[in-house]
Amino acid sequence: MSFQVTGLGLDKMKLDSPQSFLDQEEVEEAEDRQLLEPEAWRTYTARRNALREFLTCDLSPHLLKRHHARMELLRKCSYHIEILPKHLALGDQNPLVLPSTMFQLIDPWKFQRMKKVGTAQTKIQLLLLGDLLEQLDHGRAQLDALLESPDPRPFLAGWALVEQRLADLSAVMDNFLAMMVPGRLHIKHRLVSDVGATKIPHIRLMLSTKMPVMFDRKESVAHQDWVTLRWFVTIQPAMPEQFELRFKLLDPRTQQEYLQRGIIPVAACTFDVHNLLPNRVYKFTVKRAESYTLVYEPWRDSLTLQTRPGPPEGPPPRRLGKPGRP
């Protein structure tokens, strides 16, 4: 929805003193008052203040900046299917079925189909979040331009549209915040095949988010022929995680140098890569190791380091001794 704002042709004013800017504002306000009756002016002022409060509190630039940062973080996260079983049928003496046990009951082929559904749902959710955030940015720009309109008459005439726009943007914000949390996967078919007399528990599948794995750029250091790499996860998981570290030499010059690459499984958040070439540039990437529940991982962190130069080639220079006396 767009707003047409018509301005008045004001004469240019010379700014000859620091007070001139304030004087100009007072002149403009006085001119605005002349366009309206006193009652209409009070209505205009109240509505203008309400719009300014909305843009300051509910849709402030600082708030939108935070949402953009959260959106960038979500684009770097990895997404997994989480199984949430409930208690078995009433009277059953078995305890709560653990997720590891649930995987033994789930049909593998059906679960792979659900992973594809989870991938599609995650991609759609990220696209929708980006679209909602763009609507908030555009809506704020429109309302801000209307707030700066020099003529109060279009502002008052279009207030009904402004109120509708405020309600629409509030709804967009609510949808954006609700969609920030991954939701439940919709199951069209039973994932657990018939297992005779065994009582089948109720299964819920949820999309869960894991924070991205990122290199510690201060603690990751290159030496002459080896590097020390460290990485971290913003929110530490309850259980230890497995990672996959990749490295490769950039701009290899010989067939032998093309072998300067590899994939290393790591069970910690630090690792030393040895047998590298001195004074060369290497690229390193790290991510979580592939898991059975992973459905979407669009991003992995990368780091480029240059090893230190080696000792100079050739024999060391001869040291000249002190000449002896004749």
227 pLDDT tier (thresholds 50, 70, 90): very high
Same domain, 168 and 303: no
| Residue 180 near residue 31, CB atoms below 8 Å | no
- 72 in any annotated domain: yes
- Give the domain CATH number at 282: 2.60.40.10
pLDDT digits (tens, 9 = 90+) for 146-204: 988 878 888 888 899 999 999 999 999 999 999 987 766 665 555 666 555 455 566 77
pLDDT at 33 over 90: no
How many domains is the chain partitioned into structurally? 2
Least confident window among 70-74, 87-91, 147-151, 185-189:
87-91
Tell me the whole-structure pTM to 2 decimals: 0.74
CB 64 within 8 A of CB 103: no
Q: Please report the pLDDT score of residue 3 as a whole number.
A: 37
94 located within any domain: no
Least confident of 125-134, 305-314, 317-326: 317-326
What's the pLDDT tens digit per position in 122-151?
A: 999 999 999 999 999 999 999 999 988 878
Average pLDDT for the chain: 81
Residues 166 and 293 in one domain: no
From residue 310, give the alpha-carbon distance in Å to each of 50, 101, 318.
68, 54, 20
Residue 146 lies in a domain: yes
Mean pLDDT of 77-88: 75
Using a pLDDT cut of 70, give the percent of the chain over it: 72
Residue-wise DSSP of 126-187 = HHHHHHHHHHHHHHHHHHHHHHT-S-HHHHHHTHHHHHHHHHHHHHHHHHHHHHTS--BPPP
Answer yes or no: is 29 within a domain. Answer: no
* 2-11, 154-163, 225-234, 260-269: least confidently modelled range: 2-11
Residues 168 and 226 in one domain: no
Residue 256 lies in a domain: yes
Of 26-40, 85-99, 103-117, minimum mean pLDDT range? 85-99
Instruction: Say what the pLDDT of residue 312 is.
Output: 77
* Residues 43 and 158 reside in one and the same domain: yes
pLDDT of res. 4:
38
- CA end-to-end span of the chain, whole Å? 103
Inform me whether the pLDDT recorded for 34 exceeds 70.
no
What was the pLDDT predicted at 131?
A: 98
SS3 category, 46:
helix
Q: Above pLDDT 90, what percent of the chain?
A: 53
pLDDT of residue 211: 93
Residues 117 and 232 in one domain: no
- Is residue 325 assigned to a domain? no
The verdict on residue 281 lying in a domain is yes
Do 45 and 123 fall into the same domain?
Answer: yes
Q: Long-range contact list for 41-50, CB < 8 A, 24+ apart?
A: 41/152, 43/156, 44/152, 44/155, 44/156, 47/155, 47/156, 47/159, 47/162, 48/147, 48/152, 48/155
Do 134 and 43 share a structural domain? yes
| Residue range of the domain that includes 288 | 211-307
Q: Do residues 154 and 66 both lie within one domain?
A: yes
